[in-house]
Amino acid sequence: MSSTDLTEVSSMAVTAGMLWLAKQAPRPDAVQAKWSSGSTAAVPVGTAFALVRVTDEHLGRAAFHVLSTQAPQRLGPVIVDQRLTLVEFLANVRPPVWQSAGTMLLDGSQEPLRDVQCPPADREAAGRRWLNPPRAAPGCAPGLTDPLDLGRALTAARLQLIQAGHPFTT
């Protein structure tokens, strides 16, 4: 396959992944309209996916790097919010068996945190952008991050940052 063919396949996978994500909202057409206008759109968490919010952006980016280099096939969609300095991983709904300082599991049961603000696939909106956009085969759900893999990546990332002298506030 040529690099052009690979880019086209990747683009189709992102389009299918974003379509799946929009369908998780009560009004998928409203979500897609927001994305078309360059805005973020609220997508409910808890039914099809949970959200693991890492409140230290350095830690979240380091965990993303660990997963993307050590287990890229197990890395699901990831959003970075540069205004709030956090990273969010779309994860399998099953509850994680680990707890980690500086993270919050959003499973749809917490008021008012029942939605995630998702940016368009191809650009930043409201300080949010995809580090790893949803990718899926047409009609299928995208791969989601396994909470256990994320827990291991957070542990490894925290150790790397501590060794580098990163001052944790969480």
pTM: 0.90
In a domain, 88, yes or no: yes
Question: Cα dist. 98→65, 156, 159, 169 in Å?
Answer: 20, 14, 16, 20
- CB count within 10 Å of CB 139 equals 8
In a domain, 127, yes or no: yes
Which of 2 and 149 is assigned the larger pLDDT? 149
In a domain, 170, yes or no: no
Q: Is the pLDDT of residue 70 over 80?
A: yes
In a domain, 48, yes or no: yes
Q: What is the pLDDT of residue 112?
A: 63
In a domain, 27, yes or no: yes
Do the Cβ atoms of 50 and 103 come closer than 8 Å?
no
Do the Cβ atoms of 116 and 43 come closer than 8 Å?
yes
> Based on the structure, what is the number of domains in the chain?
1
Range of the domain at 111: 3-163
In a domain, 36, yes or no: yes
The residue-averaged pLDDT of 47-65 equals 94
120-161 pLDDT, tens digit per residue, is: 999 999 999 999 999 999 889 999 998 889 999 999 999 999
In a domain, 169, yes or no: no
In a domain, 89, yes or no: yes
Q: What is the pLDDT of residue 8?
A: 58
77-97 pLDDT, tens digit per residue, is: 999 999 999 999 999 877 555
